[in-house]
Structure 1
Amino acid sequence: MATNVLVIQADQFRADCLGVAGNPDVRTPHLDRLAADGVRYRNAYCPFPVCTPSRYSLVSGLHVRQHGGWTNHCTLAPGIDTFPRALRRAGYRTAAVGKMHFTPTYLDVGYDHLELAEQDGPGRYDDDYHRELAAAGLAPVTDLIDQEREFRALAPQSYWDTYGSGRSNLPEEWHSTAWIGERARRVLAGWSDSGGQLLHVSFVKPHHPFDPPAGWDETYDAAALTPLPGWTEGIPAADQRHRREYFDYGRLDLPRLRQVMAHYYATITHLDHEVGRMLDLLRQRGLYDDTMIVFTADHGEYLGFHHLLLKDGPMYDPVVKVPLLVKFPGRQRPGEAADALVSLIDVAPTVLSACGLPPATPLPGKDLADPAAGHDCVFAEDRRHGIAGMARTDRYKLLWSDVAGEALFDLTADPHELANVVDDPAHGDALRLMREAVARWALYDATPPTYLDPAARHQLFAGAVAEHRTGG
């Protein structure tokens, strides 16, 4: 029987915001149970702390400098293979539900069936979720204010005071988390017992705005929450240029941070609830044990680290580190916590290996089924504030930028990345080795320009959507 694959992706999920990761406050019982059945990778990193570039790396197994998708409005170039395409060629039924963030919206990267709930860009104006909202006479007002410039310019003062956190204006059944979870269960209900199915479920949350629906918004007592490691009373001097990114973080204080955390955590617990319903369905159908299940995110969230929120700024660990849980078929290595450095580029070769398929071309990632798999150094890039990059080993992190220069952190002595030791002779050998690692990594490919093709091949999914909605 062919292995089934379920990939569950969150957006902007800080890696330590799981109960199993030791977070003192957040409640994620279903994800914790999934971790108990598989491997939790404690040092997993995204290759680019922005949605679309990171997502293309997940499906292709390539660094962004290899696939060329540098922005949130770019197209995966033709000729680049993906693990969904490979599975489809092998006869798998492939489907995706939720936020894909492709250009064009229904870009064919290997999914035969798409039911989309987008958030940013043109996708929100032609996806399934927003069409259904409109037909029901509803509008995602909270999300529009946060995401669309013309509405954000008219946002009330309460939006700025709360950093965009608060109760969603939508009833729970129309909140994106519930909508995506319900559509995903419909697909899972149609899985056959013979295997050979892939479902990629991608939630909008906990991406800002942090807007859980009524009931869920009262899950946490803000005053009782503990600021996460790395919170500072003010913005460090090195980060002052990021004071005004999406919000003015100079005004952030502990009461405001705790309120943001309460709503951020609530969106996570709501997401965890929907994940639990999916996994329970697989258990009820007897498909859980032999299904490969991956849970991860496209990037992280500062959530107070260095007095910042969201993701616009330096590639400190909270924004480039992601949760990664892998339940291998047959529940291999249950409850293991792996310390190896891994990356989202490792997901594609891991899925392909579990399905017995070789990659079409050599991939830079590792098959995580090997307990010894990992990297000596992981890398990330960013193009929002000039040309920037990150190299991280188990002890050191090197950040470089054509705007801000270099920063080297000794993470053993300075886990919160506050002391730049790039000019300290005591770390000179480490700096040289990190620079050499970056030079070797940069030789993978000449850096391609951003690829954009709004008329790229896409699928029309009306029939597939109708089939899913009737339980076919």
Structure 2
Amino acid sequence: MKIILISLDTLRASRMSGYGYGKRTSPHMDRIAKDGVLFERAFAADIPTEVAHTGVFTGKIGLTTGVISHGSDLTQLPKSVEWLPNLLRTAGFTTGAVDNLYQLKEWFARGFNYYINTVGGNRWIDGSTINKLALPWIEQHKDESFFLFLHYWDAHTPYLPPASYVSEFYDMSKDPYDPANRSMEPAYNHTAYPFFKHHHYDLVGRVTDTDYYDALYDAEIRYLDDRLKELDDHLAKLGIQEETLLVLFGDHGESLTEHDIYWDHCGLYEPTVHVPLIMRWPGRIPAGRRVPGLVQQADLLPTLLEAVRREKPAGIAGNKLADPAGLDGSSLWSAIEGAADGTRDTVYLSECAWQAARAIRNDRYKLIVTYDSGPFRRPPRELYDLKEDPRETVNLADAKPEIADALQSRLEDYVAAKLDGRPDPMQEQLRLRGLPFRRRIEQILNGVGLTWEEWERNPDRAVFDLATAGSDGH
């Protein structure tokens, strides 16, 4: 038995053709879904990257593990917390990863016999680099039961797809640098501009057309799709495609100008928290199944453990793969086989990087409660009717206070029950360190003689660019 778990970093579900997008961004992933199961409403309970992946590998949300922030020096994950690669290695799987999350936190290398760190001179990683490292590893271990984690970053900023991929998604008769086009002004004058100038805008060039950035994102997805086809073709060539449980998931999505968020993954809105989830296992997972109900990333760990117990591969001690205690996730197998629509009727959402907020979402409504809005302007509560307003444009918190109050009460009860008397790690983060990404901006501003307060009062790109003349913005 082989398990390949693939993280598609920053891949927004609604930007995939298999999830209803009108452009051909994901033909091979769509093919994988047609041969397996696609979860229509999968959610990242915690965002962004660090907390999302911790949830995948523990089967527990941030309120349970205490890992609720991204890039915080306060965060620790005790070695006593059971970890998916450790569980599988102990049972007899050869475990491998092609990944660089170890650069964030040491616990991401736990449990792997082989951890191939993709860190390099750039903060972005091309999918071809992942394949160059992963494909030989698969060939070397093709006769073993293995678990392989692959982490593709192509859809993450900076969007730098090969030029040949862009024309399918952008009208090349237009000039993306046309000074008459002013659609980029809100992004360039946003309070978060100093961070994105260095990590994104300067790498792409002084684009003036927001449509061009959207096209670059689509092109990155299409490029990623081709890299996944290369991987899949390799499995077929080696004759192990049929015995491989292939799992594709997004750790979070991406906002493309919605809600004053410009090509980034913050905010508990659907573009960022609704993620793709696709599974294929020929002969075990029915082909063409689409699961309509709510599921979350923490469901993956118990699902994979159950898959091993069902398969009983030779040489694997399935008796060592009981579900750990205190999981927040539930096995997806009932939903996969059509006995259930999902694993829950409500999902709880959390972020603590650019902003600190929690949310509750059911079939009809979403309530977002913001504790610290960081470089954004957010009301304390946002209530959206997802049936009537799927783009979350009309805040009904004041118009329907009884619904907002009921949802907030349920959210608070849930948080209190999960904490069970322990301090709230989000409030501790805000009290002791503040928002990690606000601190990053402050460091950049301080380096050029500006304070956060000065910048917040006048987030003018020209002012910052003048201050950083002759420096790299750090």
In structure 1, runs of 5+ residues without a counterpart are 119-129, 131-138, 145-174, 226-232, 452-472
Corresponding residue SS for 1:339: strand
Q: 1:51-97 CA distances to partner (integer Å, 9 max, x unpaired)? A: 11111111111111222222235443221111111101101000010
Q: Which residue in the other structure is 1:409 paired with? A: 384
- Does the 8 Å CA contact 1:51/1:298 hold for their aligned counterparts? yes
Letter in 1 for 2:170: D
CA distance in 2 between partners of 1:303 and 1:440 (Å): 31
* 1:297-316 map, 5 Å: 297-306=250-259, 308-311=261-264, 313-316=266-269
Q: CA deviation at 1:214?
A: 4.8
Out of 341, 345, 364, the position equivalent to 1:376 is 345
- Does the 8 Å CA contact 1:18/1:28 hold for their aligned counterparts? yes
Q: CA deviation at 1:284?
A: 2.3
Q: 1:118-177 CA distances to partner (integer Å, 9 max, x unpaired)? A: 4xxxxxxxxxxx2xxxxxxxx54xx58xxxxxxxxxxxxxxxxxxxxxxxxxxxxxx621
CA distance in 2 between partners of 1:216 and 1:24 (Å): 16
Q: Which residue in the other structure is 2:90 paired with? A: 89
Q: Which residue in the other structure is 2:314 paired with? A: none
CA distance in 1 between partners of 2:308 and 2:291 (Å): 22
Q: CA deviation at 1:333?
A: 2.2
Q: Which residue in the other structure is 2:177 paired with? A: none
CA distance in 1 between partners of 2:115 and 2:107 (Å): 7
- Does the 8 Å CA contact 1:246/1:312 hold for their aligned counterparts? no
Q: CA deviation at 1:242?
A: 6.6
Q: Which residue in the other structure is 2:410 paired with? A: 436
CA distance in 2 between partners of 1:257 and 1:16 (Å): 18
Structure in which a larger fraction of residues adopt helix: 2
Higher relative contact order (CA 8 A, sep 6+): 1
* 1:188-203 map, 5 Å: 188-193=138-143, 195-203=144-152
Q: CA deviation at 1:42?
A: 1.2
1:321 aligns with 2:290: no
- Does the 8 Å CA contact 1:99/1:203 hold for their aligned counterparts? no
In structure 2, runs of 5+ residues without a counterpart are 175-182, 201-205, 310-320, 373-378, 433-474
CA distance in 1 between partners of 2:367 and 2:253 (Å): 18
Taking structure 1 as reference, are residues 423 and 223 closer, same or farther at Cα in structure 2, changes over 3 Å only?
Answer: farther
Q: Which residue in the other structure is 2:328 paired with? A: 364
Q: CA deviation at 1:224?
A: 9.2
- Does the 8 Å CA contact 1:222/1:262 hold for their aligned counterparts? no
CA distance in 1 between partners of 2:79 and 2:414 (Å): 26
Q: CA deviation at 1:217?
A: 4.6
Instruction: Report how many aligned residue pairs link the two structures.
Output: 384
* 1:322-471 map, 5 Å: 322-328=275-281, 330-356=283-309, 357-371=321-335, 372=340, 373-385=342-354, 387-403=356-372, 404-425=379-400, 428-429=402-403, 431-433=405-407, 435-445=409-419, 446=422, 447-448=424-425
CA distance in 1 between partners of 2:163 and 2:348 (Å): 40
* 1:50-449 map, 5 Å: 50-69=48-67, 70-73=69-72, 74-104=75-105, 107-118=108-119, 130=120, 140=122, 176-193=126-143, 195-222=144-171, 246-247=195-196, 256-306=209-259, 308-311=261-264, 313-328=266-281, 330-356=283-309, 357-371=321-335, 372=340, 373-385=342-354, 387-403=356-372, 404-425=379-400, 428-429=402-403, 431-433=405-407, 435-445=409-419, 446=422, 447-448=424-425
Deviates more, 1:430-439 or 1:343-352: 430-439
Q: CA deviation at 1:338?
A: 1.2
CA distance in 2 between partners of 1:176 and 1:244 (Å): 25
Give the TM-score taking structure 1 as reference length: 0.74
CA distance in 1 between partners of 2:12 and 2:102 (Å): 20
Q: CA deviation at 1:414?
A: 1.1
Give the TM-score taking structure 2 as reference length: 0.73
Measured on the aligned residues, the alpha-carbon RMSD in Å equals 3.1
Taking structure 1 as reference, are residues 281 and 75 closer, same or farther at Cα in structure 2, changes over 3 Å only?
Answer: farther
- Does the 8 Å CA contact 2:96/2:148 hold for their aligned counterparts? yes
Taking structure 1 as reference, are residues 313 and 302 closer, same or farther at Cα in structure 2, changes over 3 Å only?
Answer: same
Q: CA deviation at 1:262?
A: 1.9
Q: Which residue in the other structure is 2:179 paired with? A: none
Letter in 1 for 2:237: Q
